């Protein structure tokens, strides 16, 4: 379900340090199947018709910029890594005048399929949602933000792991860090972001609080945990490489 021109843009979060990789190479340039992870994510966005695509770069950006520019992708610089909300704010000027939906992807999540993105787009638009978060059920949700639902099954909030209560930590439905937003509503909410949390960061998830307060429709699309697995360590990279090879061998 590719979007028509001007209906879908993408922001790729690719500014992080990736300290747990124990490498001088920026995390998003580590390869899966011989291709830098960030290029896998560019391909995800492009296969679903996103235009423009903006990569938010920061740590060692002098290495990342040539890689994304070679793919015809715009870039925006996040001078300080102050959180995911701040990263998307950094991309806002590159999307000035855009009025469609904005897909937010993570530069270290290379296994997401374009079929899943297309289903997400369809769900988001059928629901008439101002924002949709991709979720998944994890056997071990440690480190992931949690999806909080009411008794009626509707999403009530998204809580970062470090800010969860003991009860919330038992929730196994997690936030993948992949989102779809109506551009105008996202930009309005970004103006009101605050950093009063355990990390002192501007969380993108906090824009959902605005939407809930204003009773705006928010969607939660359940994806496959394998597809939304992020790479934070050499062990993660090895595991994702194995999944990639198995998938390619079956295609």
Q: Which residues are catalytic?
A: 20
> How many Cβ atoms are within 10 Å of 44's Cβ, its own excluded?
25
Assigned token pair, 169: 């930590």
Assigned token pair, 134: 């991709």
For the chain, first and last CA: distance in Å? 21
Q: Which among 94, 115, 97, 100 is positioned nearest to 44, based on CA atoms?
A: 115
Assigned token pair, 104: 């937010």
> How many Cβ atoms are within 10 Å of 12's Cβ, its own excluded?
29
> How many Cβ atoms are within 10 Å of 138's Cβ, its own excluded?
18
Sign of torsion over alpha carbons 20, 85, 2, 98:
negative
Question: From CA 6, how far away is CA 165, in angstroms rounded?
Answer: 41
Question: From CA 34, how far away is CA 64, in angstroms rounded?
Answer: 16
244, 32 contact by CB (below 8 A): yes
* Strand, coil or helix: 68: helix
């Amino acid at each position: 379900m590719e979007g028509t021109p001007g209906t879908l843009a993408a922001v790729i979060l690719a500014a992080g340090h990736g300290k747990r990789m124990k490498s001088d190479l920026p995390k998003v340039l580590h390869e899966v199947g011989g291709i830098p992870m960030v290029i896998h994510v560019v391909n995800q966005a492009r296969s679903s018709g996103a235009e423009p695509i903006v990569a938010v770069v920061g740590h060692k950006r002098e290495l990342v910029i040539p890689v994304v520019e070679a793919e015809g992708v715009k870039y925006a610089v996040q001078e300080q890594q102050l959180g995911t909300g701040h990263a998307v704010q950094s991309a806002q000027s590159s999307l000035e005048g855009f009025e469609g939906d904005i897909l937010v992807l993570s530069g270290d999540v290379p296994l997401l399929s374009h079929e899943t993105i297309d289903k997400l787009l369809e769900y988001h638009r059928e629901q008439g949602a101002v924002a949709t978060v991709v979720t998944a059920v994890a056997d071990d949700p440690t480190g992931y933000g949690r999806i909080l639902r009411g008794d009626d099954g509707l999403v009530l909030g998204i809580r970062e792991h470090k800010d969860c209560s003991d009860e919330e930590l038992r929730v196994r439905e997690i936030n993948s860090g992949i989102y779809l937003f109506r551009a105008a509503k996202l930009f309005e909410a970004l103006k009101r972001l605050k950093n009063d949390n355990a990390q002192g960061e501007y969380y993108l998830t906090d824009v959902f609080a605005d939407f809930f307060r204003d009773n705006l429709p928010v969607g939660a699309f359940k994806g496959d945990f394998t597809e939304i697995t992020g790479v934070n360590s050499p062990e993660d990279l090895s595991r994702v490489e194995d999944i990639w090879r198995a998938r390619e061998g079956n295609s």
